[in-house]
Chains A and B, each alone.
Chain A
Amino acid sequence: MMTGVQQIVTGLEAAQVTLVASVPDTWIGRLMEGVRRSGQLRAVDVAREEEAVAVACGVNLAGGRGAVLIQNAGLLNCGGVLAGLVELYHLPCFFVVSLRGDHRDPVYYHAPKGRVTEETLRAWRLPYARADRRGDLAAQVTQGVEFCVESRGPFVLLISGEDLA
């Protein structure tokens, strides 16, 4: 039985993702350890989340497939680049975002982010889903990447720490 990390990495590989740009948190850091073990995915550490979005878009422009792995705090930083790059130029951009601060993550300093993340995604009209560990997580990732390619736009997969186990 694969761990959640392995399933997500498998899904990225199956979707022919070539590069993963990331700013880690505790959960995304665990996921990036799996990415770094992949022989197919190139891990790129960036200093800020907006950079990750632009790097992934550049990869897509150049014929590859980029993905962004960040925390929801970082996603909330990305409104400008989502509007001015991803949406304006109709570029695929697949996100795996750690959803800190929801009911499964009762850490007081994460709670404000958890309260606004999904409402913000809806306000920004970003297609998104919560990871479903009871289903096929690898397929969910692959389908998310394909959705981005076909729609020429973004898709956000929200994960929790439990999803990585």
Chain B
Amino acid sequence: MTPRKPLLDALVEALRPSDVLISCLGANARYLPHMTVPCPVFALCDSMGAAIPLALGVALQRPDRHVVALEGDGSLLMSPNVLATVAAAAPPNLTLVLWVNGRYESSGGQALPPVTVDWAALARAAGLHHVTTVGDVATLRDAFAAARGAGSPVAIVVEIAFDPREAIPPYSERPDEIRARFRL
């Protein structure tokens, strides 16, 4: 499996200024301030499970913007109900990118409950029709490009390698800074 960072790099490279990026807490939120992201970013440092419904609210309010939500498998395992909510609301401008490594990486890399969740099947069962699983940079690029024209919400399941030695930077922005900088 591919490590997280090359996949996150590829995703950020594929973003456009008209996109909006909403990130869950954890590694993605900690990397993003150190990357050149061409669109507005709202990154969480707490509140597991809030990234997707937050992005849903943005997407419904601003149908002219493509909204991308980054979520982790630990967070989504707490609140998989949100997949049905997204399917019901059906915004065509929302793409969910689920990072799957079986770990609560934000809190030290503890393992999730020891069961293999079929995330793509779960997303489909919840009513999402456009679901893709990727595991490398090329397929992520293809899946993300296809998501823009899907016409309904998309879920991209990204299987990543867990590296307990990965040098993830610490949080470098405070919530007030993130809130103040986020402008659509």
Chain A interface residues (CB < 8 Å from chain B): 18-19, 21, 42, 44-48, 50-64, 66, 80-81, 83-85, 88-91
- Of all A-B residue pairs in the complex, the 6 with the closest CB atoms, nearest first, are A58-B57, A84-B47, A84-B46, A54-B53, A47-B81, A62-B61
Q: Give complex CA distance A47, B57 in Å.
A: 14
Set B47, B56, B81: member contacting A85, Cβ < 8 A: B47
- A58 and B58 contacting across the interface, CB-CB below 8 Å: yes
Q: Which residue of chain A has its CB nearest to the CB of B88?
A: A45
B134 at interface by CB-CB < 8 Å: no
Contacts of B81 in A (CB 8 A): 47-48, 51
Interface residues on chain B, size class: 35 or more
- A57 and B60 contacting across the interface, CB-CB below 8 Å: no
A46-B85, A90-B176 in contact; A19/B61 too (CB < 8 A)?
yes
Chain B interface residues (CB < 8 Å from chain A): 20, 22, 42, 44-50, 52-62, 65, 79, 81-82, 84-85, 88-89, 175-176, 178-179, 182, 184
- A90 and B179 contacting across the interface, CB-CB below 8 Å: yes
- B61 and A58 contacting across the interface, CB-CB below 8 Å: yes
Set A21, A84, A89: member contacting B57, Cβ < 8 A: A21
- A51 and B179 contacting across the interface, CB-CB below 8 Å: no
- A84 and B182 contacting across the interface, CB-CB below 8 Å: no
Set B46, B55, B175, B178: member contacting A58, Cβ < 8 A: B55
- A59 and B175 contacting across the interface, CB-CB below 8 Å: no
Can you list 9 A-B contacts (CB < 8 A)? A19-B57, A46-B82, A46-B85, A54-B54, A57-B50, A58-B54, A58-B58, A61-B184, A84-B47
Q: Give complex CA distance A140, B33 in Å.
A: 41
Q: Give complex CA distance A54, B67 in Å.
A: 15
A54-B50, A58-B57 in contact; A47/B175 too (CB < 8 A)?
no
- A55 and B54 contacting across the interface, CB-CB below 8 Å: yes
Contacts of B176 in A (CB 8 A): 89-90
- A62 and B85 contacting across the interface, CB-CB below 8 Å: no
B127 to chain A, nearest CB (A): 11
B84 to chain A, nearest CB (A): 5
Contacts of A66 in B (CB 8 A): 57, 61
- B42 and A50 contacting across the interface, CB-CB below 8 Å: no
- B54 and A80 contacting across the interface, CB-CB below 8 Å: no
Contacts of A58 in B (CB 8 A): 22, 53-61
Contacts of B175 in A (CB 8 A): 88-90
Contacts of B65 in A (CB 8 A): 62
Contacts of B56 in A (CB 8 A): 44, 51, 54-55, 58
- B85 and A47 contacting across the interface, CB-CB below 8 Å: yes
- A62 and B62 contacting across the interface, CB-CB below 8 Å: yes
Q: Which residue of chain A has its CB nearest to the CB of B126?
A: A47
Q: Give complex CA distance A47, B15 in Å.
A: 30
Set A42, A61, A88: member contacting B54, Cβ < 8 A: A61
Contacts of B184 in A (CB 8 A): 61-63
Q: Give complex CA distance A52, B81 in Å.
A: 12
Q: Which of A19, A44, A66 has the most CB of B within 10 A?
A: A44
- B47 and A80 contacting across the interface, CB-CB below 8 Å: yes
Contacts of A57 in B (CB 8 A): 50, 54, 57
Q: Give complex CA distance A59, B63 in Å.
A: 11
Q: Which residue of chain A has its CB nearest to the CB of B55?
A: A58
